[in-house]
Amino acid sequence: MAEIALKSLAHSYLATPGSPEDYAIREMTHVWQQGGAYALLGPSGCGKSTLLNIISGLLEPSSGEVLFDGQVVNALSPEHRNIAQVFQFPVVYDTMTVYDNLAFPLRNVGTSEDKVHERVLEVADVLELTPQLKRKAKNLSADEKQKVSMGRGLVRDDVSAILFDEPLTVIDPQLKWKLRRKLKEIHQRFNITMVYVTHDQLEASTFADKIAVMYEGQVVQFGTPRELFERPAHTFVGYFIGSPGMNLFDVRARDGEIVAGDTIIPLGRGIYDAVAKASSNNVKLGVRPEFVEVHVAPVEGGIEVTVDDIQDLGTYSILSLHLGDIALKARIDEDSPTPHNNAFIRFPDDRIGLYVDEFRVEIDHE
Ligand code: ADP
Ligand code: MG
């Protein structure tokens, strides 16, 4: 078990990278603490697999260091890093039985057969593979093969960390849910550092205590699911987390008011001051649909908007609104009065995020 630190790490698949876009991993410094259950969440192509492969040693980074418990491991092979990695698609030995597949990583490091037997049975039990133990891996379904693959990752309890790269992709949805809970259970039982890669926010938040959100080769936020929801550090996190994502729209300061398009947005002094002194023209406000206050009649400080659509989702509805040219979403619960052609909305000051060049800027509310 180890703490994993990445120090000024960067990677490009090109021989002579120039611009930041040439990097699959842009320079990052990041620490995964020992024993943590982490998710690495981001869209396809953002660099998740590249990062995992650098940690496990399958890939050598262009620059920077990987440290396990403070020791630089850049020069160590994957075996010597003592890491288990589970991939998106099953890696099993077809001609071996399930039992021998699970036993393999243990026998490989000279574990006694008593201990092998004990661990194989334990892991098979957790993954519900006991009935298959004597079968040859080639006769298994895709689901079962992937479970064997996961079992091979989980069978050793002396590894520095276990890395999962979208391991449930080929698993059917019902089993997915169950396996995710099992992984969490296993984490709690063995206290091994686990990094779980996924592009699915639900999967990330059910498994992990802390989530690193990756975007264009950078970790743009590292926080609890709640922090990602309440205080997205980057517009991408606002947009990517939540369903629907955060409303984000361009604003500027004009004659003592904040305006979006031609509409004045009534907000407190602290937000105005921050907008006015922003050092860029790329200034956005962000507010989650859950925090948009919706009224059916005019209210003090309310902004009139048109209602384009109402999607009734049972206990709540999602409203599609227009404020000038700006499209917004708002979420109201079933007991709230439902607006028709127009509505009046307010943005609570303490639920608004200010983003300058896409990164969140703290506001002094006074
Ligand atoms: P993710 O796992 O988040 O989908 P990857 O780490 O696989 O992302 O890819 C990050 C970027 O690096 C992508 O632009 C991808 O096309 C590129 N890439 C990945 N593997 C290679 C490779 N072996 N050679 C060249 N480019 C690669
Ligand atoms: Mg990948």
**Does 213 contact ligand 1 (Cβ within 6 A)?**
no
Q: How many other C-beta atoms can be found within 10 angstroms of the C-beta atom of residue 118?
A: 13
Residue 45 CA to ligand 1 centre (angstroms) = 6
**Does 217 contact ligand 1 (Cβ within 6 A)?**
no
71 burial (CB, 10 Å; 0-12 / 13-18 / 19+) is exposed
pLDDT confidence of residue 125: 92
Q: Which two tokens stand for residue 262?
A: 């031609």
Closest ligand 1 atom to residue 52 Cα is: 6
pLDDT confidence of residue 210: 96
pLDDT confidence of residue 182: 84
Residue 183 CA to ligand 2 centre (angstroms) = 19
Residue 170 CA to ligand 2 centre (angstroms) = 14
Cis status of the peptide bond prior to 244, with omega within 30 of 0 = yes
The residue to mutate among 11, 19, 50, having the most atoms of ligand 1 within 8 angstroms of its beta carbon, is 50
**Does 46 contact ligand 1 (Cβ within 6 A)?**
yes
**Does 15 contact ligand 1 (Cβ within 6 A)?**
no
pLDDT confidence of residue 342: 96
- Output the CA–CA distances (angstroms, integers) from residue 99 to 121, 162, 183, 185, in the order listed: 8, 20, 20, 22
**Does 89 contact ligand 1 (Cβ within 6 A)?**
no
262 Cβ contact list (under 8 Å, min separation 6) = 324
For the chain, list residues with pLDDT below 50: none
Q: Whose CA is nearest to atom 16 of ligand 1?
A: 45
Residue 150 CA to ligand 2 centre (angstroms) = 17
272 Cβ contact list (under 8 Å, min separation 6) = 253, 256, 257, 258
Residues facing 352 on adjacent strands: none
Residue 51 CA to ligand 1 centre (angstroms) = 10
Residue 56 CA to ligand 2 centre (angstroms) = 14
134 burial (CB, 10 Å; 0-12 / 13-18 / 19+) is exposed
Q: Mark out the alpha helices in 191-309 (DSSP H runs).
A: 201-207, 225-230, 235-240, 269-276
pLDDT tens digits, residue range 286-343?
999 999 999 999 999 999 999 999 999 999 999 999 999 999 999 999 999 999 999 9
**Does 13 contact ligand 1 (Cβ within 6 A)?**
yes
Residue 356 CA to ligand 2 centre (angstroms) = 30
- Output the CA–CA distances (angstroms, integers) from residue 59 to 10, 11, 69, 75, 280, in the order listed: 12, 9, 20, 11, 38
Q: Which residues have CB atoms below 5 A from the ion given as ligand 2?
A: 49
**Does 346 contact ligand 1 (Cβ within 6 A)?**
no
Q: Which two tokens stand for residue 146?
A: 């992937």
pLDDT confidence of residue 180: 86
CA dihedral 124, 128, 130, 132 (to 10 degrees): -110
The residue to mutate among 13, 87, 216, 219, having the most atoms of ligand 1 within 8 angstroms of its beta carbon, is 13
Closest ligand 1 atom to residue 197 Cα is: 2
Q: Whose CA is nearest to atom 17 of ligand 1?
A: 24
Domains and CATH numbers, the chain: 4-237 (3.40.50.300), 243-361 (2.40.50.140)
pLDDT confidence of residue 366: 62
